[in-house]
Amino acid sequence: MSRPSKKRSPRRASPPPKKPGLFRRWLLPPTLFVLGLSLGLLVPWVVWLDHQAGQRFEDRQWTQASRVYARPLELYPGLAISASDLIFELQASGLSQGAPASIGQYRHNGDRFDIHLPGFAFPDGAQPPSRLSLGLSQGRIGQIDSPQGTLTRVPPAELGSLMPLDDRDRTLVSLPDFPPLLIVGIQAVEDRAFNHHHGVDPRGLARATWANLRHGQLVQGGSTITQQLVKNLFLTPDRSLVRKFNEAVMALSLERRFSKADILEAYLNEVYLGQDGPNAIHGFGRASEYYFGLPVQALAPEQIALLIGMVRGASWYHPVRNPQRALNRRNLVLDMFLETGLLTAAEHADARSRPLGVNTRTQRGQRGQSDFMDLVARQLRQDYRDRDLRGTGLRIFTTLSPSAQRHAEQALAAGLADVERQPNELQGAIVLLEPASGEIRALVGDRQPSRRGFNRALDARRPVGSVIKPFVYLLALAQPDRYHLASTLNDEAISVPLPGQPAWEPRNYDGESQGEVALMDALGRSLNQATVQLGLDVGVPALMRVLRQLGVEPGNDVHPSALLGAIELSPLQVAQLYQALASEGYSTPLRAITDVINAEGESIGRYPMQMRPIRDREALALLDFAMRHAVTDGTGRSLSWRLPNDPGVRGKTGTTNDRRDAWFAGYSSDWLGVVWTGRDDNQPANISGSSAALPVWARLFSQLSIDHQPTSWPDSIDWYWVDWPSPLLASEDCPNARALPFIAGSQPSQLSPCIPEPESERRWPWQRR
């Protein structure tokens, strides 16, 4: 029997496949594509950012402005200086009046000074911070109480800078040289987890947000110090997610490649802290110099707090433009110092009670002395290329005296105002130097020293007039067998024939002839006719040679009018000529620079004195005596009342044709000054050396501290009484007797009728020992 067949259940039809969802069908593929593309682009971008951050940080080259400094004021017992000049020098160096317990402060009570000097790296070695006290008596320093001994140097005033091409002004400081409070204080305010994060700090961002909400103002930033450094060094300041992403990646890269110390040192030298005109101030080193006139090592807690507070916004918290806002910000930073234990309650209260103390007047930005800086730049260009001077951090030490420069600027402005007939009709220039060293202490090329442009002290080449005459007489006195101070010259009208030209007929200033005159009188009274007679005898070519020997190129024109100063020279060149006269026979090139120090503290350029003795020192000694006669009895005799405290000045006036130019060159044992006045358009100004230039010179020298030192005479000089103004030997008892110096053997041989014939047993009464 057959088995019954199983009944097959009907086969279930499989459900139709589900249609893909909207996401899988339309969104997933492009999402995966975009994600893949993003990863493909992002990974190389991150790798490139990582490489760039490390490479650029490692290869960075800081640029520093090259600083130009004045000469350092040396304080020692016996130094001649007034209280007002000492105060000016201290303030020019960045010190301010206050409590001398703080570095960079001084206090004075009458003639008593207590000074706390900051440290400074001089070319010959560093001088640490020091506190000293001194007293002034009759215009001189008495005893000095100082750990440096009897000689202490005030850090020199900063005159200006040679800026790098990026106009970023900074002073590089290594991390160990920053004050500890600044190092930990910047972390307490800007990035408390700096030593623990890896470049980005999410918890710090949250903490900063909470702190800002709690204080109701921006007191903390969310970016780490590393992120801020990345933004300052590599990125633009725009606010975007892309920039923040790049900043975070590069911050992580720096943290992975470099130490915390490297990053912090770079940050402290790079952070932006304000503007000095067109130049951006970067780093705490430069900011401390600019705002307080102090090296960063000398900053007090309240000063550190102010600079740290400015990191959040240097313009917003600028202490000069926004003092109250800056004060509030500084006090808030001091509160954070207290909160984090960086200051005790007593230190916090003391710092909070102090004013901002920003030294706005001496913000190292005294932009005066532009004419002197012009001279410095010219001397530097003789030895350095411009790109070697900019951005390399050189320190250039010069010879300028800030107090003497101030006196020279004031003397020129006030002196011209006194003598001119119409306001601002006249211009002028002054060169002031120490004759023994040839170091220029002041240089003014415009009656408005802040105005830059034509530098008359260097570039105004004008006829020098009678200031050239002493060199004609020097040539004559160098021939003692023919000339001495009492030699007779003929001051009569003279006609000098010239080939192919009309004869030259010089006349005296007043048009009058004086007949026979003594040589010393002819110079003192500036007699043109007598001078030409003498000059033709010694020779115009000889005059040109002596000018070249003294360091001045007079040109190739040998016209006899050169004997009366028809030679165009600048005030600086005239000062070069007179330096040899004022230094008792030692010629040296004038200099404005003493040292050039590189960023590593090594000397790369010295400008030592180059002394060269003049051969005819005896003749120079006689000329020096005659120049004194020109001041006491000649064209410069008005100095007797213009300069009552006369230290034995010697000098010579000069006036050119049509009274266009007025000159005076005068010197004492420790100062030489040359003054020129005239009109820029070279029109007649109705001035003379004695009426225009000499008063300016006297106004300047009346403000200088001058030593009264006796003249040293060569051993070969003998003194004799003469019956002045005749060249006859006399006795001291003769009515017109005058003692004159003579080179040994050159004295007159004839006797004056006022003395009897000497007896053979008796010593000559006309010789003075």
> What are the residue numbers of the active site?
190, 466
Within 10 Å of residue 356's Cβ, how many Cβ atoms?
17
Q: What is the DSSP letter of 394?
A: -
> In sequence order, what DSSP letters do the residues of 197-228 get, joined into one string?
SSS--HHHHHHHHHHHHHHTS--S-SS-HHHH
Strands (E), 247-376: 272-276, 279-282
The span from the CA of 63 to the CA of 393, in Å, is 7
Determine if the peptide bond prior to 30 is cis (ω within 30°). no
In this structure, what token pair is assigned to residue 725? 């103004």
Element (H, E) at 34: helix 28-59
The span from the CA of 651 to the CA of 635, in Å, is 9
The span from the CA of 357 to the CA of 326, in Å, is 12
SS3 content of the chain, % helix, strand, coil (to 5): 40, 20, 40
Q: CB burial class (10 A; 0-12, 13-18, 19+) of residue 275? A: middle
The span from the CA of 568 to the CA of 554, in Å, is 7
The span from the CA of 529 to the CA of 540, in Å, is 15
3-state SS, 672-685, equals EEEEEEECCCCCCC
Strands 112-117 and 73-75: unpaired
Can you tell me whether residue 727 is helix, strand or coil?
coil
Sheet holding 279-282, edge to edge: 168-169, 279-282, 272-276
Q: CB burial class (10 A; 0-12, 13-18, 19+) of residue 228? A: buried
The span from the CA of 29 to the CA of 587, in Å, is 92
Beta bridge partners of 736: none
Helix ranges restricted to H, 539-693: 540-549, 571-582, 617-632, 639-642
Q: Are 715 and 709 in contact (CB under 8 A)?
A: no
The span from the CA of 756 to the CA of 138, in Å, is 49
Radius of gyration (C-alpha) of the chain in whole angstroms: 39
First and final C-alpha spacing in the chain: 178
Q: CB burial class (10 A; 0-12, 13-18, 19+) of residue 9? A: exposed
Give the residue from 191, 197, 468 showing the smallest Cα distance to 340. 191
Give the residue from 273, 346, 348 showing the smallest Cα distance to 313. 273
3-state SS, 415-429, equals HHHHHCCCCCCCEEE
